[in-house]
Chain A
Amino acid sequence: MIKLSDSRMIIAYKGPFTLQVVSSLGEFIRATPIEDSMSRSRLFKSLIEVAQNIALYSAEKIVFKNGNQSGFGMLKIEEDDNYFKITTKNKIDDSNFNKLNVYCNQINDLNHKELRDLKMLNIRNKKEEENSAHLGFIYIALLTLNKIEFELDKEDSSFQLTVKVNKKYSIN
């Protein structure tokens, strides 16, 4: 389970991440009063990316009556005095542990210019019919200017991700 902390909870959700759910979460954030417009924008964009990461890559799927399926997982958004924190948790296949570990560490090791270059390289290398180029984490690191925090739990076959979005961004 995701541990609750002393931060103030904004929203928490556990279930399938259908497009409708992702959209509703996004609309909730847009309706939340956030003073800094850039912070609100980056929170919204980060939220959509991490939610769609669960939708596409969670190893736990919900199959609906119409045959559609969607990734299952958990998401919460908290705030403290300095940050909004989005935390997600979902199941992953054991075979993806090392790849995900290397990928997240690689992103955290790159500077802003290198992240931009990697993003465009990944877009370039994406096959046409692929729905994602695994760009979301790179994009989040570029947007938030913060490292992504992650935990891989082999016993639980789970991946937990925390994205910190500043409550105040100076004009870049």
Chain B
Amino acid sequence: MENLIRIPQKELPYFPGVDFNFDTCICVLSEESYMEESYSFYKPLMDWIREFFKYKNTLDFNFKFTYFNTSTSKMIIEILELLEQKKAEGNNITINWYLPADDPDMLVEVEDFEEDAQIKINKIIVA
């Protein structure tokens, strides 16, 4: 299974960085996410995660967003619910959310995600 990589591009700042690494079992979403067609962007990522668990049973999933819009919120919930489902099936999953220290509003949103998706998220404040 191939890694899924998208390097953030300055001229397309509304698409996040994607680094889904099959070999290390570490996934990272980074930078900003405020595209209009969030479903089209995130569906292949969800498909990759589903495929990943056909081969492996351990995953570290890391959110390193500096900003995401409300359209992205739904897709975040979808990812969290998928991870929760895979965890319930016996897989070993860790979710980390790196929060910008100057954005307390994001912490509130992550707490809402955590409650809604019923999955533990490790919240890490970064300077």
- The chain A residues found within 8 Å of chain B, CB to CB, are 19, 22-23, 27, 37-38, 41-42, 44-45, 48-49, 52, 55-56, 116, 119-120, 123-124, 126, 128-133, 135-136, 139, 143, 171-172
Contacts and interface: CB of A to CB of B under 8 A. Distances in A.
Contact of B36 (A19, A37, A123): A19
B67 A133 contact: no
A123 B74 CA distance: 5
B103 A41 contact: yes
B38 interface: yes
Contacts of B102: 37-38, 41
A44 B32 CA distance: 12
B124 to A, nearest CB: 19
Contacts, number: 72
A131 B104 contact: no
How big is chain B's contact interface, by range?
Answer: 20 to 34
Given A38-B104, A120-B116, A126-B74, A131 B39 contact: yes
Q: Is the interface of A mostly helix, strand, loop or mixed?
A: helix
A159 to B, nearest CB: 18
Given A128-B78, A131-B37, A131-B39, A48 B112 contact: no
A131 B38 contact: yes
Given A23-B14, A131-B39, A139 B70 contact: yes
A22 B32 CA distance: 13
B73 interface: yes
A132 B71 contact: yes
Given A119-B112, A120-B116, A171-B104, A135 B73 contact: yes
Contacts of B34: 22, 48, 52
B70 A129 contact: no
B77 interface: yes
A45 to B, nearest CB: 7
Contacts of B108: 116
B44 interface: no
